[in-house]
């Protein structure tokens, strides 16, 4: 049996404004109806695969469980990183967990959770091809047959030209090249894109860290062995974790190890590392135009038009080689050749303290989500969506009162000692300082409009008394 390990902590700034620090691209349905994370989990499930181990951060822990359940996948272990330290510590922590729970000989398939692989069966066949090599002690990586010269990926140089999905010997790693060098590598026929996907036994990757990155062992082992159980999550110890080097698994181990093999894969893959990649994977029409449901292109060519809101219609006329992506709070317009420079926009917005740089319009919580509709000097209007059976914390506020109007479903509302059901078109007032809670006792989502008034409306004006999600 293979234990999938899904790495799920990236921020995906090159796909701003859809992907942001608070809600990155792996949780969005960029291609098709499923999110990238759900598609990744489904691809690494079924016969021969165990429950996934997910390594993520605290902010995403409930999103991860919600999306796994939404894909009908039973969540396995979810390791919570106190802070991002790159892929090497994350993989090592997962290896310690797999070795402890499944045994040191257990196979681990490590994969990012934000890749697109259209042919899941072909990918699983490639994994099968590498299994015997992994069982013999090899560290198996997967190389993607290039479809075009790409400067955004590192490359794997093989000893000879690949033969189907047969395991091949790795000669060297090649850093991200410039355009001229990338063209040479693709023409050579012996170079594959480095997908950052690996297959190995738990004991073999731990031994590789012992040999090539021993400084990581003690802090990561301490962070794992003293981890705290928190609901269904395992929180790695912050003090120990902070001592681990911030380094990728390629730099820490793979580029130094001698027991490396490569499985070539040519059945389609993308890491969606920019809007140009989204354009390619979206299936442009004969004019090279790709649109979403709320976008219209008129006499455009080689253009991507997307609207991520059913309240916004995006129309392009006579555009050539353009990316236009509209969100409720931000719009990106760029030449498609500059797709890799979108991260510069994020940096510029952060420099001017624009909230759109990192924060998503919808704020996702374990019970559902909310979004701000109107913000004034002393008031704010929100739409709040509560999942069936979910409940917000029992709380109070120092600086604001609230008025709730239920527009869908039924809410169970607590205000101090008073508990009652509030149905559609009914409302309830929450005075400043009152201890209150809302719950959804029904089988369908509950939606309400919240009007806040007061001197301070920040999310940190919350005193929690009880919380089923163990938030402090």
Residue 252 pLDDT: 95
Nearest to 298 by CA among 286, 306, 289: 289
Query: Residue 76: CB partners within 8 Å, gap ≥ 6?
Result: 3, 50, 51, 52, 53, 54
Helices (H), 329-370: 342-351
Residue 204 pLDDT: 97
Residue 189 pLDDT: 87
Q: Are 173 and 192 spatial neighbours (Cβ–Cβ below 8 Å)?
A: no
Q: Are 192 and 162 spatial neighbours (Cβ–Cβ below 8 Å)?
A: yes
The whole-angstrom separation of Cα 327 and Cα 335 is: 18
Residue 472 pLDDT: 61
Below-70 pLDDT ranges, the chain = 471-472
Residue 430 pLDDT: 96
């Amino acid at each position: 049996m293979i234990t999938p390990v899904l790495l799920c902590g990236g921020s995906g700034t090159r796909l701003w404004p859809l992907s942001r620090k608070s809600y990155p691209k792996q949780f969005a349905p960029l291609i098709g109806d499923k999110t990238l994370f759900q598609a990744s989990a489904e691809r690494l499930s079924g016969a021969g695969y165990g429950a996934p181990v997910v390594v993520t951060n605290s902010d995403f822990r409930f999103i991860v469980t919600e999306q796994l359940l939404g894909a009908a996948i039973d969540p396995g272990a979810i390791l919570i990183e106190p802070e991002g330290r790159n892929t090497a510590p994350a993989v090592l922590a997962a290896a310690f967990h797999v070795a402890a729970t499944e045994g040191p000989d257990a196979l681990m398939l490590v994969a990012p959770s934000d890749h697109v692989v259209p042919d899941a069966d072909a990918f699983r066949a490639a994994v099968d091809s590498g299994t015997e090599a992994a069982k013999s002690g090899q560290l198996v990586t997967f190389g993607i047959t290039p479809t075009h010269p790409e400067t955004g990926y590192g490359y794997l140089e093989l000893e000879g030209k690949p033969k189907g999905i047969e395991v091949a010997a790795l000669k060297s790693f090649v850093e991200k090249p410039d355009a001229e060098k990338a063209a040479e590598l693709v023409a050579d026929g012996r170079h594959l894109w480095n997908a950052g996907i690996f297959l190995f036994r738990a004991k073999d990757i731990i031994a590789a860290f012992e040999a090539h990155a021993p400084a990581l062992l003690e802090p990561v082992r301490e962070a794992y062995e003293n981890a705290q159980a928190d609901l269904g999550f395992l929180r790695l110890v912050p003090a120990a974790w902070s001592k681990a080097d911030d380094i990728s698994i390629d730099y820490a181990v793979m580029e130094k190890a001698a027991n490396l093999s490569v499985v070539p894969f040519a059945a389609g893959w993308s890491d969606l590392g920019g809007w140009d990649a989204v354009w390619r994977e979206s299936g442009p029409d004969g004019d090279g135009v790709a649109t979403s449901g709320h976008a219209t292109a008129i006499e455009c060519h080689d253009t991507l038009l997307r609207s991520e809101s059913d309240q916004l219609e995006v129309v392009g006329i006579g555009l050539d080689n353009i990316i236009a992506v509209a969100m409720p709070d931000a719009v990106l317009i760029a030449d498609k050749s500059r797709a890799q420079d979108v991260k510069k926009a994020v940096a510029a917005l952060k420099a001017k303290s624009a909230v759109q740089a990192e924060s998503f319009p919808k704020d996702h919580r374990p019970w559902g989500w909310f979004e701000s509709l109107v913000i004034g000097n002393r008031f704010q209007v929100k739409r709040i969506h509560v999942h069936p059976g979910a409940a917000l914390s029992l709380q109070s506020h120092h600086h604001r009162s609230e008025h709730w109007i239920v527009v869908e479903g039924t809410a169970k509302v607590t205000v101090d000692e008073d508990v009652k059901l509030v149905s559609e078109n009914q409302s309830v007032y929450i005075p400043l300082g009152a201890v209150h809670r809302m719950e959804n006792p029904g089988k369908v989502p509950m939606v309400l409009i919240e009007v806040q008034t007061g001197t301070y409306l920040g999310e940190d004006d919350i005193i929690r008394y009880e919380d089923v999600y163990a938030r402090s």
